Structure 1
Amino acid sequence: MIKAINHLSRRRLNIQNNPVSESLLNATVQCVCSPFFVNIFKQVTELIELNDAQELLLNTCTDYIVCYEGNRRHEIFSIIRTILLKPFTQWLQQHASSFRQWNRITKSSFDKLGGIIFDFGLHNEKIIGKDTYDDCCKIIDCYILILSTLSNNINAIDESTIDLLGICMFHLYALTLEQSLLDYIKNQQLSSILLRLIDIDNEEAQFNAYRILASIMTEQDIKMLANPGKISKVFITFLTDVIDNTRKIRRLRNLLRCLKCLVQHDQIKEELTKQGILPHLLRCATETKFDPVHEQQPTLEILLALTFHDQAAILLKENSQFISHLHTLINSSSEQGLRRAAEGLLWKLEKEEIATAKLVTIPITKDVRHYKYDIMLSYSHRDKDLCHRIYDRLVKDNFRIWIDRDQMHGSTMVAMADAIENAEFVFVCMSDAYKQSAYCQSEAQYAYERQCHLIPIVMKQNYRPDGWLGIMVSGKIYVDFPKLGFDQAYLKLKNEIDRYRLNMNLSISTQEQQRCESPTTAKVPERTIETITDQSDEQPTITNHERGAIR
């Protein structure tokens, strides 16, 4: 009966969310979370054939849960993770080293249970607990052991081990969707192992390897690729395969997530553009059959990142139909994320060039300050906890701060430009999330081009910027909050502000003294300030956070 209902309800959310189906779901979850299930799973390596009870628990019940995509999916998977993660971890630690002896039943049970436990969701922002984190790290270590063993003797990989290879990489990819686990994976030197495995003659294994690489590769890893165009080709091939397949929506969304990570790298931008990804992305961004939040928005954000590649920007700028679509989204979309992405694209394609071309010179004197804000905070929403803590301390010390605390409604990029133009300092809050964000890159680039005084802040432990971000902060003193601790890092931050202001005051005093000594020849020093004018008929209403007095 369970198999029949599972077949009937697959991809039919109206059936899966039906109260009768939910009753069956609850009973199935209870079976999988039962001590009886745990005991059977612990003995799975010894099973040669399954009896009816074992078949029901290890296959039928797990299949039903894996295929469930109803409203309670994340709740159900979280319940199962809470119960089964610990025994799964203990079992894997015990049997990982003997993976070559795993039979079909063992691999199948391992595959299904891991697929449930590690489903954190595509947009997971919830911080997992320490026990869950510790167990997942132990599991990651086991997967890396298996992959490393296989990569050291690729010629010994047969059909049986290829299946296991694919399972391990699929589970590892699922684990990258949880941010703290992704950070752990990045520190395990996994890229070199995966790069040895990507040429295995198995499409699914290759795809999962590339998906993990998309999430963990650094600029240096990209440069070391023997064929950097291959990873772009793989993603374009899979995108072409799923774009019109309604049964592969989850894969499409996963692809878009991976592309958002990959497209931060300049070399990948070039390859994707050269190999013709734009028509596919434009379809995902504009056709109504694609979900506005889960498909159109991430696609627009990928396109925003591609605008930092000159050729891609030209092609998009020349597409009048796409430009018109962006204006329509800004004026009529009810989805804030869509409007923000569209506004970001229009900023890059239309307004940024106008903004940087308009120059106004304002004389600087010793007694007059021409800044509306002391500091503009440029940060990723993923790092909001530490950033908001820094903001609160700065406000307490009477600094005037501009911060997009809640990803404001309205013309965000215009507001950002105004803040940068009118801030004495721009704090660049650096992390992987910051570098991967096209919005953050837009902010940082605009501040960099205006030659604003940037102070780089390290937000995550052991983070070191590379690529475009590394270039922008090259030669500057980092304020490393995780390394120094909050209080000491904040003191260093204030010292940097004071040091810059002291040097600036000395420079102004010297210039004024020279002017007084040679009044007929000295020129009034000027600060070049670019102004931004919104191109719409009505200026947007922008709410900023302004506190305190000038220090």
Structure 2
Amino acid sequence: MSSTMLSTIRGLDDDNEKELKSYFDDIMSRAPADDHEYLSEIINTLIQISSKCINIIDHPFFIRIRHAFINNLKKSAEDFTLSCRIGELFSQLTNHTNDKNIQLIREFFADSNLTECLIESLINLSPTSNDHLIGSIEHMIDAYHKFQDDRPTIQDDPILSTLIMPIVNFFKSNEYKNSFFQLLAKQDQLTSFQKLILVTCPTYIKSYWGQLQEEIFSAIAQVTLTRSSEIFEHFLPSLDKWQEPVIWSIYSLILLCQRCGNEHLLPAYDLQHKKILDYVLNIVQGKELWNVANQDSTSDKRQYRVNQLFCYSTLYIYTTTFLPELRDKLVENNITPLLIRLTEAKYDKIQFHAYRTLAAVLTDNDIKQLANPAQITNVFITYMKKTIDVIVLRQRLENLLLSLKILIQHDQIRGEFARQTDGLPLLLRCATEFQFEGTKIQLRSLNILMSLTFNNEIKVLLEKNSTFNQYLRTLATSSKSPELQKIVDGILWRLFPKYKTTETKFQYDIMISYSHKDKDLCHQIHKALVADNFRVWIDLERMHGIMMQAMAEAIEQSRYVLICMSDSYCVSPYCQAEAQYAFEKRRILIPLRVQMGYKPQGWLAFTISGRMYVDFIKSNFETAYTQLMSQFHQNPVDEKDVALRLSQSNVKDAVVEKKECVIYSYPKDVLQWTSANTHGIYRVGGTAGRRMDCKCGSAECCHRVL
């Protein structure tokens, strides 16, 4: 019977649902509901031709199969062979999920009787349970994962969403670690229970993006990240001997570690992530695994798993770059050569994640030393092509643009982007097409386009693009998003600036140029300056709309511009526009470091070249503020006015960590300064070009010139 059925269904047209349904009507009429042997024979046949049946999954015959699965599990039968085969059929059917049939599949699997039965069976499961029972649950969870993957709206279905927490609780149980430690490096196959708890459940959890994701990953972060270290410690010594089961289980664990690295959990568990990062770096440096990943064979299962392991290990490394301390750790460890090697992997996703990581850690010198920096740009453009028209890959496109936004700060990459003809049109599509309106994709692409206006070739192309410019002007007046209004204003200002003649009389003493991500410290500096009677321009409330002209006028009317250096400042096109305009207007720039360990790169390094910066992170606030005052004195614009303000400043009472005499060297004669008490700072007047001897009389004085 099965061979006849197989050949008949194979001969039917895939699009002829009416004929398929008629055939299943006939089968149903001849198949007794309680004849499990007959049903098993049909199921075995359907597994082989699942693609033919997916679009008629709502047929009564498949409903009967679903009931048979539930009944088999509820009766606690000694033989769960039927339910296991049904689970395998359902898993095969969901391989063929697409946007056309997703609602049909959703309705079939969003059955409360089915989910309740599955949850109850999972709760009562143990490593000693019947293998076919374990297989039944494993196949069903796999089926639910496949059709919900990358579909958060489906995951939020009231019935389907009941599955996630029981699966999480099963994964969190002690059986997970026990099952892992029972694995042997040379083991050639996972047991049914090991596959369920070490691979299938983590994969299901990793793919969850529903409304409960913050709750879910907060619930698993502590236990996952803590026991991960134990597992890596146990398995890393045998790295070169890992076979497919260990590789599969390890990369499934890394999947979850990566999901436990979002913007909230990464800093909350920074110590655990620091340890895991070391282990993951060891994995991607494994010579034997690297050779396996890049061998010529394309059908080797172990090779496939190794590529997955390298892929998600590289993705995890990329995720850690969002925490400055971990990114600094990567830079200190000179990770660039390793990442460059990973860009040569045969598996293109490994290349992509490696380039994304390079975007975060590369310095200008690194990029100059690359043999072919054009390849980095080409990879990003290639992935934009692959993702721009695929709805389920929107999240990937968002992340790609975020990485490109960081990378585009480097002049070499901007130049390559100008040379490669496909890049700019793709960005313009992301910025202007209706499907991306109001999304992160539109906002990030516009940010990148603003950064690209600092490349003359691209700036000229955008100036001549009347369609794009008209779109921007329309967006500026029609958009209700303050962020969009701000970036649109920034691009238009860059393309069509409205310059003014600088006034001879300054309205402000100081303009503070900073990223709002660093607002706490920058606002503290502003408050201190105002208290000392300085006239300060600062955007405290995150101006929107036509803010670029206000910024330009503030620079024109300010004596000094404080450049508050950080990662977020460097990647912001607004901040670059401010710094460049201040540079062009020949304002006195005073760099301040407002992020721990930050070292200026790219355009920012060029802009502040040759200037000493004040470190508000390494020093305490009072000491750094005192040094800032000294910078004003060493770079006077209106000497008498600056001297008057400094004499009124509260800095005269600042206390430093050790006795020292600060010797100033000025371009002109300045007022004599009286020294502070022996626990403070001695200010001694001086003459142009001459370093004064210390007159404080203290043996502990370090005679420091700021």
Structure 1 residue 27: Cα displacement: 1.3
| Alpha-carbon distance in 2 for matches of 1:296, 1:446 | 26
| Alpha-carbon distance in 2 for matches of 1:152, 1:9 | 32
Of 46-55 and 300-309, more deviation after overlay is shown by 46-55
* Pair 61,82 (structure 1): closer, same or farther in 2 beyond 3 Å: same
Of 333-342 and 264-273, more deviation after overlay is shown by 333-342
Structure 1 residue 157: Cα displacement: 5.5
Give yes or no for contact 2:310–2:350 (8 Å, CA) kept in 1: yes
For the pair 1:341 / 2:476, whether they are aligned, the reply is no
| Alpha-carbon distance in 1 for matches of 2:456, 2:637 | 39
Partner of 1:57: 197
Q: 1:439 aligns with which of 574, 580, 605?
A: 574
Of 226-235 and 75-84, more deviation after overlay is shown by 75-84
Partner of 1:526: none
Larger relative contact order (Cα-Cα within 8 Å, sequence gap ≥ 6): 1
Partner of 2:424: 278
Partner of 1:289: 435
Partner of 2:553: 418
For the pair 1:302 / 2:448, whether they are aligned, the reply is yes
Q: Which runs of 5+ in 1 are unaligned?
A: 363-369, 509-551
Give yes or no for contact 2:509–2:536 (8 Å, CA) kept in 1: yes
Q: 1:115 aligns with which of 255, 268, 272?
A: 255
For the pair 1:319 / 2:465, whether they are aligned, the reply is yes
Give yes or no for contact 2:451–2:573 (8 Å, CA) kept in 1: yes
1:74-94 deviations in whole A, cap 9, x for unaligned? Answer: 332232112210110232234
Give yes or no for contact 1:100–1:161 (8 Å, CA) kept in 2: no
Q: Secondary structure at the match of 1:455?
A: strand
Structure 1 residue 149: Cα displacement: 4.6
| Alpha-carbon distance in 2 for matches of 1:85, 1:203 | 28
Instruction: Map 1:175-214 to 2 at 5 A.
Output: 175-214=320-359
Partner of 2:496: 350
Partner of 2:276: 139
CA RMSD of aligned residues (A): 2.7
* Pair 83,404 (structure 1): closer, same or farther in 2 beyond 3 Å: farther
Q: 2:158 aligns with which of 15, 19, 38?
A: 19
* Pair 306,397 (structure 1): closer, same or farther in 2 beyond 3 Å: same
* Pair 454,125 (structure 1): closer, same or farther in 2 beyond 3 Å: farther
Give TM-score, length-normalised by structure 1. 0.83
Of 86-95 and 221-230, more deviation after overlay is shown by 86-95
Partner of 2:361: 216
For the pair 1:234 / 2:379, whether they are aligned, the reply is yes
Give yes or no for contact 1:293–1:338 (8 Å, CA) kept in 2: no
| Alpha-carbon distance in 1 for matches of 2:365, 2:576 | 19
Q: 2:141 is aligned with what amino acid?
A: I
Q: Secondary structure at the match of 1:399?
A: coil
1:69-125 deviations in whole A, cap 9, x for unaligned? Answer: 212223322321122101102322343343222222222222222222222677x37
| Alpha-carbon distance in 2 for matches of 1:99, 1:410 | 56
Q: Secondary structure at the match of 1:484?
A: coil
1:330-378 deviations in whole A, cap 9, x for unaligned? Answer: 1111222211111110110112xx31xx32553xxxxxxx333222111
Structure 1 residue 48: Cα displacement: 4.5
Q: Which runs of 5+ in 2 are unaligned?
A: 1-139, 296-302, 644-706
For the pair 1:173 / 2:357, whether they are aligned, the reply is no
Of 19-28 and 9-18, more deviation after overlay is shown by 9-18
1:457-479 deviations in whole A, cap 9, x for unaligned? Answer: 11233333233212211221210
Structure 1 residue 240: Cα displacement: 1.0
Partner of 1:82: 222
Give yes or no for contact 1:16–1:69 (8 Å, CA) kept in 2: yes
* Pair 360,487 (structure 1): closer, same or farther in 2 beyond 3 Å: closer
Give yes or no for contact 2:530–2:536 (8 Å, CA) kept in 1: yes
Partner of 2:609: 474
Structure 1 residue 426: Cα displacement: 0.8
Structure 1 residue 313: Cα displacement: 0.5
Structure 1 residue 265: Cα displacement: 0.4
Structure 1 residue 264: Cα displacement: 0.3
| Alpha-carbon distance in 1 for matches of 2:597, 2:283 | 27
| Alpha-carbon distance in 2 for matches of 1:66, 1:337 | 31
Q: 1:117 is aligned with what amino acid?
A: C
Partner of 1:496: 631
1:517-544 deviations in whole A, cap 9, x for unaligned? Answer: xxxxxxxxxxxxxxxxxxxxxxxxxxxx
Q: Secondary structure at the match of 2:473?
A: helix
Structure 1 residue 431: Cα displacement: 1.9
Instruction: Map 1:518-537 to 2 at 5 A.
Output: none
| Alpha-carbon distance in 1 for matches of 2:162, 2:440 | 29
| Alpha-carbon distance in 1 for matches of 2:530, 2:439 | 35
Partner of 2:246: 106
Q: 1:459 is aligned with what amino acid?
A: V
Give yes or no for contact 2:189–2:244 (8 Å, CA) kept in 1: no
Instruction: Map 1:322-401 to 2 at 5 A.
Output: 322-351=468-497, 354-355=498-499, 358-360=500-502, 362=504, 370-401=505-536
* Pair 261,80 (structure 1): closer, same or farther in 2 beyond 3 Å: same
Give TM-score, length-normalised by structure 2. 0.66
Q: Secondary structure at the match of 1:359?
A: coil
Q: 1:359 is aligned with what amino acid?
A: T
* Pair 15,149 (structure 1): closer, same or farther in 2 beyond 3 Å: closer
Give yes or no for contact 1:120–1:174 (8 Å, CA) kept in 2: no
Which structure 1 residue ranges, 4+ long, deviate > 6 Å from structure 2?
A: 151-156
| Alpha-carbon distance in 1 for matches of 2:481, 2:638 | 46
| Alpha-carbon distance in 1 for matches of 2:515, 2:494 | 19
1:53-77 deviations in whole A, cap 9, x for unaligned? Answer: 3333223322221221212223322
Q: 1:255 aligns with which of 396, 400, 407?
A: 400
For the pair 1:403 / 2:549, whether they are aligned, the reply is no
Structure 1 residue 156: Cα displacement: 9.3
| Alpha-carbon distance in 1 for matches of 2:546, 2:288 | 50
* Pair 294,148 (structure 1): closer, same or farther in 2 beyond 3 Å: same
| Alpha-carbon distance in 2 for matches of 1:471, 1:229 | 22
